[in-house]
């Protein structure tokens, strides 16, 4: 059964079609891995074996009748505990959220969850998040610390760290994460998996995030092909999201068909350190350069070029901290006392910022979006490291001894592209001397999600992840 856990969703569906194995067998194996991931890493807030096996048996019957419900029928999936999932409380890592179900609070699926349920996916459980997804590592007062699948004493990243740990550990090949400043890409880079932050609005969101249009829902998978498969399902329209984009006119999986030929001739800008502004560890830099060299071998026209923007961190903080303050606005004194101390600090800072300061931050955001729009008239893709470092000690917001205060200080490559709403992927491309994964970031113009996936897929086919050992070993 452990071999089943190593298969991608694409491979599982192919096996269901041929009858090599059934969704029930696959689900049992994934549940075993979920239990181990929970014991070793604290990746889950909830695992529901009974519900998962019931769904798997229903899927097996559909496959036996030759009538699968969709392209993910019978595939084990996990969901970050920020997104609503019918029948399960969404606690958001906080003691301020009651597990009780007042007025049917837990009777609704988020749009992406609903599309997966309609397509016959098997939900294994909900994965850990920091409180309200506020930071780039995964620990919370309510659920504790989530470890890295390559070294449990180190962080899995965040805020979708539980999802990354689950996928890397074999507890289902697909997971839904959210990304407001890097929250699918950071843990993907730290945990050796693939993740995509789609163009904002491409995957419908409901309820709307308090962090506004910074927050995206995206796939976390083992490779780009599975992410494309998942995107074909979760991008379907949902009337509850007024900011969603229109229907997708193509298949994301279809966009991968060209393979390496899809990269040939692409104009790629490679920015190793944002024009010298970011200090990048030498082994991270070497692994990312190796991925860039692969793009050259595949026929891309790569040029070292920097987007040329100043660090927008203060504007991001205004937007992010204000959103956090909005999340906790109605909390009483007792609820505030139980918040993560770091979250409490940024909420206080956010509440003190004025409407004019917020609008000034929006101006910075619009100027950054204009700059990147012009940049992508010259270049199809931008390639950077995802992270300047590899995973550090678990349970800390910043690396010990770094002198840093907030998580944004070690994530300079991720949050700018939440401000611009561009698609950005994390592709595993190597490890450091301790065997900790490194990720390369591929960024596209707004709406170029298919191109980002195609380039990522070409790198996988060329062996970019061959030097990243499996965390399931």
In angstroms, the CA 61 to CA 68 distance is 9
> Tell me, what's the pLDDT at 156?
98
DSSP secondary structure letters along 97-136: S-SS-GGGTTS---HHHHHHHHTT-EEEEEE--SGGG-SS
Residue 436 lies in a domain: yes
Q: Which is nearest to 193 in space by CA: 465, 386, 395, 467?
A: 465
| Sheet of 381-385, strands arranged across | 44-47, 122-127, 76-80, 174-179, 216-221, 194-197, 424-431, 437-444, 381-385, 267-270, 301-304
Q: Which is nearest to 239 in space by CA: 270, 204, 264?
A: 204
In angstroms, the CA 411 to CA 388 distance is 7
Peptide bond before 80: cis, by omega within 30 degrees of 0? no
Residue 421 lies in a domain: yes
Residue 183 lies in a domain: yes
The alpha carbon torsion through 78, 84, 86, 91 (nearest 10 deg) reads 90
Q: List the domain range (segments joined by +) for residue 240.
A: 2-461
Residue 472 lies in a domain: no
- For the stretch 82-116, pLDDT in tens is 999 999 999 999 999 999 866 677 999 999 999 99
Residue 468 lies in a domain: no
Residue 466 lies in a domain: no
Residue 473 lies in a domain: no
- For the stretch 410-442, pLDDT in tens is 999 999 999 999 999 999 999 999 999 999 999
- The residue with tokens 């101390």 is 341
Catalytic residues: 80, 159, 183
339: domain CATH number? 3.90.1300.10
Task: Going residue by residue through the chain, which has 473 residues, state the pLDDT in tens, using 9 for 90 and above.
Answer: 459 999 999 999 999 999 999 999 999 999 999 999 999 999 999 999 999 999 999 999 999 999 999 999 999 999 999 999 999 999 999 999 999 866 677 999 999 999 999 999 999 999 999 999 999 999 999 999 999 999 999 999 999 999 999 999 999 999 999 999 999 999 999 999 999 999 999 999 999 999 999 999 999 999 999 999 999 999 999 999 999 999 998 999 999 999 889 999 999 999 999 999 999 999 999 999 999 999 999 999 999 999 999 999 999 999 999 999 999 999 999 999 999 999 999 999 999 999 999 999 999 999 999 999 999 999 999 999 999 999 999 999 999 999 999 999 999 999 999 999 999 999 999 999 999 999 999 999 999 999 999 999 999 999 999 999 999 96
In angstroms, the CA 24 to CA 30 distance is 10
What pTM did the predictor assign?
A: 0.98
Residue 120 lies in a domain: yes
> Tell me, what's the pLDDT at 1?
45
Q: How far is CA 183 from CA 164, 330, 416, in A?
A: 10, 25, 13
The DSSP output letter for 155 is E
> Tell me, what's the pLDDT at 105?
75
> Tell me, what's the pLDDT at 260?
87
Number of domains in the chain: 1
In angstroms, the CA 459 to CA 462 distance is 5
What stretch of H or E contains 321? helix 313-327
């Amino acid at each position: 059964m452990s071999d089943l856990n190593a298969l991608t969703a694409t491979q599982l569906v192919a096996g269901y079609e041929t009858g090599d194995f059934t969704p029930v067998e696959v689900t049992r194996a994934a549940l075993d891995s979920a239990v181990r991931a929970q014991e070793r890493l604290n990746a889950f807030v909830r695992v529901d074996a009974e519900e998962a096996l019931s769904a798997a048996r229903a899927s097996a019957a559909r496959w036996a009748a030759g009538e699968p419900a969709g392209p993910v029928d019978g595939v084990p999936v996990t969901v970050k505990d920020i997104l609503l999932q019918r029948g399960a409380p969404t606690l958001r890592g906080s003691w301020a959220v009651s597990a009780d179900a007042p007025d049917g609070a837990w009777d609704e699926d988020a749009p992406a969850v609903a599309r997966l349920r309609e397509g016959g996916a098997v939900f294994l459980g909900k994965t850990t998040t920091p409180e309200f997804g506020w930071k780039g590592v995964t620990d919370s007062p309510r659920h504790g610390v989530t470890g890295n699948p390559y070294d449990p004493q180190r962080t899995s990243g965040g805020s979708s760290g539980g999802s990354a740990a689950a996928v890397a550990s074999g507890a289902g090949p697909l997971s839904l994460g959210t990304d407001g400043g890097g929250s699918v890409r950071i843990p993907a880079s730290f945990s050796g998996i693939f993740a995509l932050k789609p163009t904002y609005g491409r995957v419908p969101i409901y309820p709307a995030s308090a962090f506004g249009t910074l927050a995206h829902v995206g796939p976390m998978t083992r490779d780009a092909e599975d992410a494309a498969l998942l995107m074909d399902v979760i991008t379907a329209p949902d009337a509850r999201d007024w900011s969603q984009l229109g229907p997708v006119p193509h298949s994301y999986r279809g966009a991968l068909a060209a393979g390496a030929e899809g990269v040939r001739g692409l104009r790629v800008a490679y920015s190793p350190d944002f024009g010298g502004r970011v200090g990048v560890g030498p082994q991270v830099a070497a692994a990312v350069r190796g991925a860039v060299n692969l793009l050259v071998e595949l026929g891309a026209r790569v040029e070292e070029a920097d987007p040329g923007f100043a660090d927008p961190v203060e504007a991001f903080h205004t937007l992010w901290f204000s959103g956090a303050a909005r999340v906790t606005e109605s909390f009483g004194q007792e609820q505030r006392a139980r918040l993560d101390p770091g979250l409490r600090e940024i909420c206080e800072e956010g509440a003190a910022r004025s409407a004019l300061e917020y609008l000034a931050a929006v101006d910075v955001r619009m100027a950054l979006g204009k700059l990147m729009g012009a940049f992508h008239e010259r270049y199809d893709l931008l390639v950077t490291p995802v992270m300047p470092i590899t995973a550090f000690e678990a349970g800390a917001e910043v690396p010990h001894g770094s002198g840093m205060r907030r998580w944004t200080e070690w994530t300079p490559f991720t949050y700018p592209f939440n401000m611009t709403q561009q698609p950005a992927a994390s592709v595993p491309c190597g490890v450091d001397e301790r065997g900790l994964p490194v990720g390369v970031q591929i960024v596209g113009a707004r709406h170029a999600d298919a191109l980002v996936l195609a380039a990522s897929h070409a790198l996988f086919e060329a062996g970019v992840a061959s030097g990243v050992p499996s965390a399931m070993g």
